[in-house]
Chains A and B, each alone.
Chain A
């Protein structure tokens, strides 16, 4: 090649240098492919869950019965029934109770952390909230089962301590950190000039929060609530341990319920691969995936909505 090379080492060095562009291309492609992997994984999740559910979803499933019948009797010898209404209502009522507790407290805490305190207090509270998020869901379930349930029996006179109320409180505690951190981000995203303008008009802090920040950050706060709902619906282990796990459309806070997620968790182990019950559980998986997908999509659109409005 016309290059004055004297030793093998120099020749190797030369080839190495020549291959630099090639290596860089290879690495950039690796980066690109990893970057696209998130989309790939979401599609893969949908594909693999859908694939197992497909025989039932595409053939023979009576959608009307599936969504409107409260009878979930997959193991019945006479006629197995697959109605998820009671499970769906269970999941939604659980999310409702959890949000009724978590939203006021979560948003209140977000406002307090972002607007009413500063310096050391703020840092400490943020760290404590972050640590809360780290407690595993199984431990929350354990707390519901062994700490909260006896207390509920004692205070309310309910027959069993594992019920809608118990699970609602536990799930509320689990979704509070999300609501606080995203709500705080939303409040932080409001430009300081808004606060300064309100201050110069003589507004107090509360007036700034109520009249300026809430309207300005309402989309972000809504997104925080939506993600909290998503978390509440998707929660599995704590819900399984605290709801009482009996198929039931709840009429009061003290009724035991059963959630979609918990049903999959308990029953999948007992099914035979590929039979109808198995497919029904994967169908529930598809339903759950769809619900959370829609919630996340909505939250994302809501947040993106404000961003484009602001830049416009």
Chain B
């Protein structure tokens, strides 16, 4: 059996020794205060091999011992937390272990003596750090995997749409049986639906939020209302469509019309307004209200003169956000008021901006995109991409306005 020893630090390779004792003697002689002199971290390795064999450069060692070479530590058990006091004491301890038969020195076995500094990281610490790094990178990869493809898709939409998007595309009416021309009339229809539904649900939603935030007692009934708001937001949009059809088109005898479609959209986006307004109202500090009450103002006076002016910006943000939501919804208006084909759309002047009456049916860009991409032939793919890009651009723009307003208001807030 030969026992080559390496010092691993200054570049020289293995030294041959015949027995473990010899090897340890060499180590003790050469390296007793090596680390203290050079300041290098130390790892000594003893590899067992048959005479004439070669050392495999990378092998796992079965035995790991730790040595504190600073010279100040007490003699320990050789573990990471409790290292040997020095190389020479490690050598005697190893020989004792060998004699006790606790070191199995077949060919290929390795013994490593690690230098251990007083405050260096233990393997527990290192594992922890590795795990931390892995977790962090996995999570950041997840976020990247979410964000990048979506941004890529949106960029691709705009890229494909670029050839057709022009003022003519935006401001001309569809022609040739709705397969050619621009998208002006559908675009106006989308705005119509969004604005009229806003006029319907903004007052209701804002008053409802005032009730929930300022008046509602803390009881089961209020809890029911909150639950109803959450549920209203969770009802599938197509069920809203069925409701709108049953309630507004049939029961209220509005017929399929702009009004019926707007009412349906209004019910659907009511929770959005309620939630946003409530948040804005809740951000007005209680002390403002208390101060006002102390002056003898009634509840409504307090709300009118103190709470509403101070939360106006937040409410406006919610209102804009609501427009963005309704502008993209298709399912609720499928049966309640949109059509794909309309003849005699006015091309110029005031009529082209106000082409629909409340009880007329209308075109809408989202429905136009749906029918053109699934049921029509003869519409070029570029036109479809153009419509999709306009729709995305519209909602993203409105939403960014709402977000930047929120950020601006937050930065200006003084309380």
Q: Which A residues have a C-beta under 8 Å from some C-beta of B?
A: 24, 27-28, 30-32, 34-39, 41-42, 44-45, 48-49, 51-52, 104-106, 108-109, 111-113, 116-117, 125, 127-132, 134-139, 141-143, 145-147, 173, 176, 204-207, 209-210, 227, 230-231, 233-237, 241, 261, 264-265, 268-269, 273, 281-282, 285, 288-289, 292-293, 295-297, 299-300
Q: Enumerate chain A residues within 8 angstroms of B2, measured Cβ to Cβ.
A: none
B145 and A105 contacting across the interface, CB-CB below 8 Å: yes
Query: A268 to nearest B CB, angstroms?
Result: 6
A255 to B243, CA, bound (A): 32
Q: Is the interface of B mostly helix, strand, loop or mixed?
A: helix
Interface contact B131-A204, CB-CB below 8 Å: yes
18 contacts between A and B (CB under 8 A): A34-B207, A42-B231, A48-B247, A108-B142, A136-B327, A138-B369, A139-B157, A146-B381, A146-B385, A204-B131, A205-B135, A206-B134, A207-B131, A233-B236, A236-B237, A236-B238, A237-B331, A289-B239
Asked if A128 contacts B147 (CB within 8 A), the reply is yes
Evaluate contact between B329 and A261: CB separation under 8 angstroms. Answer: no
| Chain A residues, Cβ within 8 Å of B151 | 128
Check A142/B232 contact, CB under 8 A, given A31-B210, A116-B136, A134-B324.
Answer: no
Known: A146-B373, A265-B331. A125 touches B381 (CB 8 A): no
Residues from chain A with a CB closer than 8 A to the CB of B247 are: 44, 48
Q: Which of B215, B239, B270, B399 contacts A49 (CB 8 A)?
A: B239
Q: Which residues of A contact B154 (CB under 8 A)?
A: 135
Contacts of B164 in A (CB 8 A): none
Instruction: Tell yes or no: B341 within 8 A of A by CB.
Output: no
Instruction: Flag whether B107 is at the interface (Cβ < 8 A).
Output: no
Q: A142-B388, A296-B231 are contacts. A264–B238 as well, Cβ < 8 Å?
A: yes
CB within 8 Å for A285 and B208 given contacts A108-B143, A146-B373: no
Nearest A residue (CB) for B190:
A136
B224 at the interface (CB under 8 A from A): yes
Are B211 and A35 in contact, CB atoms less than 8 angstroms apart? yes
Asked if B227 is an interface residue, CB under 8 A from chain A, the answer is yes
Q: Are B298 and A269 in contact (CB under 8 A)?
A: no
B300 at interface, CB cutoff 8 A: yes
The residues of B that contact A292 with a CB separation of less than 8 Å are 231, 234-236, 239
Collect the chain A residues with CB atoms within 8 Å of residue B235's CB. 42, 45, 234, 289, 292-293
CB atoms of B207 and A31 under 8 A apart: yes
Residue of B235, B241, B384 ringed by the most chain A CB atoms within 10 A: B235
In the A-B complex, the 3 residue pairs with the smallest Cβ-Cβ separation, listed nearest first, are A136-B328, A35-B211, A234-B236
Chain A residues with Cβ below 8 Å from B64 are none
Residues of A within 8 A of B150 (CB): 132, 173
Residues on A with beta carbons closer than 8 Å to the beta carbon of B143: 108-109, 112-113, 125
CB-defined contacts of B153 to chain A, threshold 8 Å: 143, 147
Does B195 have its Cβ within 8 Å of any Cβ on chain A? no
State A285–B241 Cα separation when bound (angstroms): 10
Instruction: Flag whether B146 is at the interface (Cβ < 8 A).
Output: yes
User: Contacts A27-B300, A105-B145, A234-B236; is A296 near B385 (CB within 8 Å)?
Assistant: no
B335 within 8 Å of A by Cβ?
yes
* Separation of A138 and B243 alpha carbons in the complex (Å): 20
Which stretch in B71-79, B108-116, B390-398 binds the other chain?
A: B390-398
* B225 interfacial contact with A, CB 8 Å: yes
- Render B330-347 as a binary contact track against A, CB cut-off 8 A, 1 for contact: 110011000000000000
- B193 interface contact, C-beta 8 A: no
Distance (whole angstroms) from the CB of A207 to the closest CB of chain B: 7
Could you tell me the distance between the alpha carbons of A176 and B143 in the complex, rounded to whole angstroms? 11
Q: B251 in the interface, Cβ–Cβ < 8 Å?
A: yes
Residues on the A chain within 8 Å of B197, using CB = none
Q: Among B142, B156, B208, B234, which residue has its beta carbon within 8 angstroms of that of A37?
A: B208
Interface centre among A30, A31, A227 (most CB of B within 10 A): A31
Whole-angstrom distance between the Cβ of A275 and the nearest chain B Cβ:
14
List of B residues within 8 angstroms of A113 by Cβ: 143
In the bound complex, residues from chain B placing their C-beta under 8 Å from that of A296 are 227, 230-231, 234
Do the beta carbons of A130 and B399 come within 8 Å of each other?
Answer: yes
**Given A44-B247, A130-B403, A173-B150, also A34-B208 (CB < 8 A):** yes
* CB atoms of A38 and B229 under 8 A apart: yes
Is the C-beta of B129 less than 8 angstroms from some C-beta in chain A? yes
Question: In the bound complex, what is the Cα–Cα distance between A210 and B140 (angstroms)?
Answer: 16
A234 lies within 8 A of B327 (CB): no
- A136 pairs with B395, CB closer than 8 A: yes
Q: Are A297 and B330 in contact (CB under 8 A)?
A: no
Q: 1/0 per residue B84-121: CB within 8 Å of A?
A: 00000000000000000000000000000000000000
